[in-house]
Amino acid sequence: MKHFKAKDIMTRDVFTVRPETTVKEVAHFFLEKKISGAPVVDAAGKLVGIVTEDDLIFRDANVHLPTVVTIFDSIIYLENPHKYEHELQKVIGGKVEDIMTRALVTISPETDLQEMATLMHEQKRHLLPVLEGGALVGIVGKADLVRAIAQEE
């Protein structure tokens, strides 16, 4: 039985987008390339985020307004106001940098199948960028995991 690692199943020819790419452009890019997400890299090629179909869909969803209480002309947030600001920015954002996920979950080429599956499930990630020496060398998506699981059994 083969025990797959990220380097065995990752897509090496990774389609990336830039932070300044418009939301409309990235939507067309996803359709053209038949992909559901892409790493976001800056001008130097450094990974700065991930943008997915979920980010595009969230942009057109309703924003949850935070619950507040007014006491003596002061507004007290009963929820984290920073979360609301982030959600609002995603809805009004016109560029990838406005809607992308910045909190990255990355893996190395040596990460095993079980750890990749666990990260995707627990961290609710659809794509795992593969970094080696700080450089983006590949990406593992859910379909890659499913194929590997089918071959491993």
Alpha-carbon distance 53 to 26, whole Å? 9
**Strand pairing category for 74-77 and 68-71:** antiparallel
In this prediction, residue 63 carries a pLDDT of 45
Task: Kindly state the tokens that stand for 123.
Answer: 């961290």
Domain map (residue ranges) of the chain: 6-60+95-152
The single-letter DSSP state of residue 36 is: S
- When the pLDDT of each residue in the chain is averaged and rounded to a whole number, the result is 82
In this structure, the number of other CB atoms found within 10 A of the CB of residue 89 comes to 13
Alpha-carbon distance 84 to 82, whole Å? 5
Pick the CATH number of 6-60+95-152 from 3.40.50.720, 2.40.160.150, 3.30.930.20, 3.10.580.10: 3.10.580.10
Task: Indicate the pLDDT class of residue 136, thresholds 50, 70 and 90.
Answer: very high
Residues 40-92 pLDDT 10s: 999 999 999 999 988 877 655 444 444 545 556 655 555 555 554 555 454 45
pTM across the whole model: 0.75
Alpha-carbon distance 18 to 33, whole Å? 16
